[in-house]
Amino acid sequence: MSSLFGLLIPWMTRDAIDGLFAPDGSERLARAVSWMLLFAALHGSFRYLSRRGLLVTARKVELALRRDVFAHVIRLPLSFFRATPTGDVMSRMTNDVSAVWLFLGPGVLTLVGTVISYLLALTFMLRISPLLTMVSLVLAPAVILLSREYGRRFHRLYRKVQEALAAMNATLQENISGIRLVKAYGLEEKEETRFAANCDGYYRQNVSVSKNSAVFHGAIGFLAGSGTALVLLLGGWLVIRGRLTLGGFVAFNAYLAMLSFPTMALGWVINLVQRGGSAMGRINEFMRLPVEPSLMKAQSSQAPEASLEDTPAPECAKEDAKEGRPALEFRDLSFAYGDGGRGGDVLRGITFSVNPGEVVGLVGQTGSGKSTLLSLVLRLGPVPAGAVFLEGRDVNSIPLAELRRSVSLVAQDPFLFSDTVLANICFGLPSGDAESARRAAGHARILAEIDEMPEGFRTVIGERGISLSGGQKQRATIARALCASPRVLLLDDALSSVDVETEREIFREILSLRGERTILFSTHRLASLSHCDRILVLSGGAIVEEGTHDELLSLRGTYFDLYSRQMLSMELEESS
């Protein structure tokens, strides 16, 4: 409607000019001007409505798309994040989604308006002079072919631009996140050079796009100008010969002028279409990834490989849960990383059980499989069916949300959000509970330090908890796990950054909770294991020894060797 009323204005101009030579010229002029004012008002009104409707709708689509992409990406397996740079993910969720909006909003608005304007304008132009219309369309095939070739080339070039932008963002994100390491090693100049190289690559790709765009717009401008010159030459001759009225000639040129912007905007629209298509393609690469599969593969001698999808709980498993089976049970669990990981089995034939309220320690050399074993309890990788049980239920039969509410893992690398201390400790709760947070912080031996902070539990600790020491970060993550009140607590070398005395205090606090929850933890400080109900020694992915601290020392085997070397090392440090 906006295009129709806008194109009616030149038509009334034709009537007004031709009417000047008629006896009732003044009356026809006044009538034409009145219609022109009405059409201008209607044109403006519908133009407002069309832009408001299309652009706002495009923004709604952008909002929904951004939410959908985030909701999908955050549910992808850990293997995806190990293989995909953070900067690439951020680039697709910000720049690529914005490129989709530019196509759906301004792009679609201009494209639809251009098509409608061309169809309506050609209709009016044919009524004025079919011959002039044919002449004005002589160069149209050249414009179409040029636009098609430009579109293909631009799609390839802009894909490279997006990839260069992702690489630049990845370098930027790594340096900001790892700023302490960069400064500690004095690598500012080296990282500046690396980032400059990324920027240079991004610059070159954009310059290539700009050069191609300049050639296209220049060619389109030349063709449009040539077409206008032909129309002026032939149209002027037709007016002189009396085969075309002056008003018709003016209106025809007005239509050509009104189509000049859509013609010149054709390159911009093609640009937006190709950018949007390329961006949506990159987004769809993420969206096509299923949320469960992983690069890891699991195998068990008892059952075929299983995925991360929830499977119905067997009736026997439900009965086992009712009969008070072990809190945790592993039955001949074998596990191997697939492509991109370590070769061979990481875990081999792991079989043991943990009773409710029991405290079991895991020890072994680096790479023996302790962290992998703990992660499989939470199904952070595909677990073989019939290999891992929580309270008598196969973990594959437990919905992930329920499983991860029942089990809390404190990883060796502590992660804190750029938020308040309270929000970080209560992360596993639906809402902040100050009392629960204080209680958990007390058990983790960090309460006194939090109270000394400027705003206590309301203190913002910065990105990744940058304002805290390594030991404080670990204790805060332990408090977060305890605050969630899990039935099973998994500690993966979670006390490596605290001093020995603090570790003993925290361990005593954790042991005091043994009646409320089952605890399974790994550590490299073997002295802390003396109060465990049981200790499992892993070597090469298999359990080689099992027993209490004293029993394992009396065996004089692997545990004895590890303990003796550690005690000797501590004595040497103290003496020096």
154 versus 70: which is more confidently predicted?
70
Pairing relationship of beta strands 534-539 and 359-364 according to DSSP bridges: parallel
Would the pLDDT of 145 be above 90?
A: no
Listed ranges 87-96, 337-346, 427-436; the one with the highest mean pLDDT: 87-96
Contact 39, 5 (CB under 8 A): yes
Specify the pLDDT at position 196.
92
From 143-157, 186-200, 418-432, 553-567, the region with the lowest mean pLDDT: 143-157
- Residue 557, burial from CB neighbour count under 10 angstroms (0-12, 13-18, 19+): middle
118-141 confidence digits (pLDDT tens): 888 888 888 888 888 888 877 777
Confidence class of residue 323 from pLDDT cuts 50, 70 and 90? Answer: low
CA dist 13 and 127 (Å) reads 15
User: What is the pLDDT, as a whole number, of residue 38?
Assistant: 92
Q: Residues of the chain with pLDDT > 70: what percent?
A: 91
pLDDT digits (tens, 9 = 90+) for 43-87: 889 989 988 888 889 999 999 999 998 888 888 877 788 778 777
Of 125, 128, 117, 118, nearest to 6 (Cα)? 117
448, with CB counted inside 10 A (0-12, 13-18, 19+), is: exposed
pTM: 0.63
Is the pLDDT at 194 greater than 70? The verdict is yes
What are the CA-CA distances from residue 238 to residues 11, 241, 258, 542 (Å)? 19, 5, 22, 96
Q: What is the pLDDT of residue 465?
A: 74
**Cβ atoms 228, 256 nearer than 8 A:** yes
Least confident of 98-112, 142-156, 212-226, 278-292: 142-156
- pLDDT band for 203, please (50, 70, 90 cuts): very high
Which token pair is 243?
Answer: 């085969």
Question: Hey, CA dihedral for 456, 462, 463, 465, is it positive or negative?
Answer: negative
Q: Which residues, 6+ apart, have CB-to-CB distance to 466 below 8 Å?
A: 180
Check residue 327 and give its pLDDT: 87
pLDDT of residue 71: 86
Please say whether the dihedral angle defined by the alpha carbons of residues 37, 38, 41 and 42, taken in this order, is positive or negative: negative
Q: What is the enclosing helix (H) or strand (E) of 359?
A: strand 359-364
Query: Rounded to an integer, what distance in angstroms lies between the CA atom of residue 63 and that of residue 53?
Result: 15
More confident residue, 259 or 327: 327
Three-state DSSP class for residue 75: coil
Residue pointed to by tokens 């690489």: 167
Q: How far is CA 347 from the centre of its chain?
A: 32
Residue 41 reports pLDDT greater than 90: yes
Task: Report how far residue 257's alpha carbon sits from residue 249's, in angstroms, rounded to the nearest whole number.
Answer: 12
How would residue 529 be classed by pLDDT, with cut points 50, 70 and 90?
confident
Q: What is the band of 42 on the pLDDT scale with cuts at 50, 70, 90? A: very high
Whole-number pLDDT of residue 200: 92
pLDDT of residue 326: 85
Closest CA to 267 of 208, 213, 211, 228: 213
Q: DSSP of 494-558, one letter per residue?
A: TTTTS-HHHHHHHHHHHHTTTTTSEEEEE-S-GGGGGG-SEEEEEETTEEEEEE-HHHHHHHTSH
**Can you read off the two tokens belonging to residue 421?**
């201390």
Residue 450 has pLDDT above 60, yes or no: yes
For the chain, list the domains and their CATH numbers. Answer: 58-287 (1.20.1560.10), 297-414+485-575 (3.40.50.300)
Helix intervals (H) in 241-352? 246-287, 315-322
Average pLDDT, the chain: 81
φ, ψ at 61 (rounded to 5°): -65, -40
pLDDT at 513: 75
C-beta separation of 336 from 344 below 8 A = yes
For residue 338, pLDDT beyond 70: no
User: Is the pLDDT score of 304 beyond 50?
Assistant: no
Name residue 568's amino acid: L
How many alpha carbons lie under 13 Å from residue 345 in its C-beta half-sphere?
16
User: What b-and-e string marks burial along 250-263, b requiring 16 or more CB atoms within 10 Å of the CB?
Assistant: bbbbbbbebbeebb
Give the number of other CB atoms < 10 A from CB of residue 248.
23
User: What would the mean pLDDT of 234-260 be, rounded to a whole number?
Assistant: 84
Confidence of residue 95 (pLDDT cuts 50, 70, 90): confident
Lowest mean pLDDT among 191-200, 286-295, 551-560, 563-572: 286-295
pLDDT of residue 324: 57
pLDDT at 432: 67
Residue 453 has pLDDT above 90, yes or no: no
**With 60 as the cut, is the pLDDT of residue 312 above it?**
no
Q: Answer for the pair 149, 219: CB distance below 8 angstroms, yes or no.
A: no
Q: Which amino acid is at 263?
A: T
Scan for tokens 């629960």, then name that residue: 436
With vertex at residue 409, the alpha carbon angle to CA 376 and CA 81, rounded to the nearest 5 degrees, is 65
